[in-house]
């Protein structure tokens, strides 16, 4: 746990939350500033800053699936967006690994816009990634 981390304080019970799930390794609670009804965060109890430090945390995927299914079913959402940001430039605001489960309803579809281009030098790009796996 980190003393200045808001999620660590929620995990320790120092800050109240609307908890929807908890086990010995992770916790899920409602986002205090939700994008939509049921917007939930899935957070490992072990403090790691981002996905690049999450080796061995495969259990998060099972929890993410279970909680996202519950969120979708609870409010009959038409879809669910799952997001996880790494680093300030990627939109990370709390530097404790977490996943956003955002239910999508008719009329509030997400508008995620990227400046996409055609794939260029695909072989070389793939090779650079493959070298590191």
Mean pLDDT, residues 6-23 taken together: 97
* Cα gap 2→96, rounded to integer Å: 9
Dihedral angle at the C-alpha atoms of 109, 76, 20, 25, nearest 10 degrees? Answer: -70
Report the mean per-residue pLDDT for the chain.
92
* Cα gap 52→92, rounded to integer Å: 13
Which CATH topology does 6-130 take? Answer: HIT family, subunit A (3.30.428)
* Cα gap 84→72, rounded to integer Å: 18
Which tens digits make up the pLDDT trace of 33-68? Answer: 999 999 999 999 999 999 999 999 999 999 999 999
9 pLDDT tier (thresholds 50, 70, 90): very high
pTM, to two decimals: 0.88
The percent of residues above 90 in pLDDT, for the chain, comes to 78
Q: What are the structural domain ranges in the chain?
A: 6-130
Mean pLDDT, residues 81-108 taken together: 94
Residue 115: pLDDT over 90: no
Q: Quick check: 1 and 48 in contact, CB under 8 A?
A: no
* Cα gap 125→118, rounded to integer Å: 13
Q: Which residues are catalytic?
A: 98
Task: Pinpoint the alpha helices (H) of 1-133.
Answer: 6-11, 59-75, 122-130
């Amino acid at each position: 746990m980190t003393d200045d981390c808001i999620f660590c304080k929620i995990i320790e019970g120092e800050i109240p939350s609307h908890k929807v799930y908890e086990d010995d390794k992770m916790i899920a609670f409602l986002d205090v500033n939700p994008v939509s009804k049921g917007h939930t965060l899935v957070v490992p109890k072990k403090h790691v800053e981002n996905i690049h430090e999450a080796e061995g945390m495969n259990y998060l995927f099972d929890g993410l699936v279970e909680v996202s299914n519950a969120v979708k079913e609870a409010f009959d959402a038409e879809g669910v967006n799952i997001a996880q940001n790494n680093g300030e430039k990627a939109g990370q605001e709390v530097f404790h690994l977490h996943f956003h489960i955002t239910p999508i309803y008719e009329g509030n579809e997400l508008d995620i816009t990227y400046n996409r281009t055609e794939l260029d030098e695909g072989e070389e790009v793939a090779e650079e990634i493959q070298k590191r796996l």
